[in-house]
């Protein structure tokens, strides 16, 4: 992949447009399956099997806490997600995929991958590498507090 000919600021509208078009395409597939793109983001985050605090899920899925709670309630009702009290910090609630949720995530991942296979750049490891590196550089890191 060659260097981007514009400035870094020029990336914002391009990435925004690409995200919207990709979300619309994936969203159409998910709608046929009775899910939203937001639900897909939550399932994707929980697919690592570690369980995540609801506050972290809200931040990663870019959803306000109240909206996330309603969404997770719907996923719980569909037996895709369950909640448990955090064993270390009992004030926190962690969300996990159920066995059905894991199977559904795997099935939908394959469906989405098959649909997107026609887009040559999606499978371009260079593009994914560059985007991952950009995300890493843009992600705020906590600064250590002086002792």
Q: What is the pLDDT of residues 1-29, one digit of tens each?
A: 445 556 777 788 888 888 899 999 999 99
- pLDDT given for residue 82 in this prediction: 97
Q: How confident is the model at residue 121 (pLDDT cuts 50, 70, 90)?
A: low
- Which residues, other chains included, contact 36 with Cβ-Cβ below 8 Å and sequence gap of 6+? 27, 30, 71
Evaluate whether residue 3 is within a structural domain: no
Could you give the number of structural domains in the chain? 1
- Reported as a single tens digit per residue, the pLDDT across 41-68 is 999 999 999 999 999 999 999 999 999 9
| Predicted confidence (pLDDT) at residue 140 exceeds the cutoff of 90 | no
Give, in order, the Cα–Cα distances in Å from 78 to each of 8, 34, 50, 127, 133: 42, 10, 20, 35, 36
Give, in order, the Cα–Cα distances in Å from 42 to each of 69, 121, 140: 11, 25, 21
Percent of the chain's residues with pLDDT above 70: 88
Residue range of the domain that includes 121:
22-133
Q: From CA 17, how far away is CA 111, in angstroms rounded? A: 23
Q: Which residue did the predictor score with more confidence, 4 or 144? A: 144
Lowest mean pLDDT among 4-8, 85-89, 110-114: 4-8
Mean pLDDT of the chain: 87
- pLDDT given for residue 1 in this prediction: 42
Evaluate whether residue 144 is within a structural domain: no
Evaluate whether residue 81 is within a structural domain: yes
Q: How confident is the model at residue 84 (pLDDT cuts 50, 70, 90)?
A: very high
Contact 65, 54 (CB under 8 A): yes
Evaluate whether residue 96 is within a structural domain: yes
Evaluate whether residue 140 is within a structural domain: no
Q: From CA 88, how far away is CA 121, in angstroms rounded? A: 43
How many CB atoms are closer than 10 A to CB 35? 20
Q: What is the CATH number of the domain that holds 55?
A: 1.10.10.10
């Amino acid at each position: 992949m060659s260097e981007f000919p514009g400035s870094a600021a020029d990336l914002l509208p391009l990435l925004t447009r690409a995200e919207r078009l990709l979300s619309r395409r994936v969203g159409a597939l998910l709608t046929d399956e009775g899910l939203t793109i937001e639900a897909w983001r939550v399932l994707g985050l929980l697919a690592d099997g570690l369980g995540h605090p609801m506050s972290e899920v809200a931040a990663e899925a870019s959803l306000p806490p109240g909206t996330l709670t309603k969404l997770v309630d719907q996923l719980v009702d569909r037996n895709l997600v369950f909640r448990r009290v955090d064993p270390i910090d009992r004030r926190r609630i962690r969300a996990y995929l159920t066995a059905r949720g894991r199977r559904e995530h795997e099935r939908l991942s394959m469906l989405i991958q098959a649909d997107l296979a026609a887009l040559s750049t999606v499978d371009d490891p260079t593009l994914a590498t560059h985007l991952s590196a950009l995300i890493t550089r843009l992600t705020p890191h906590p600064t250590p507090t002086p002792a």
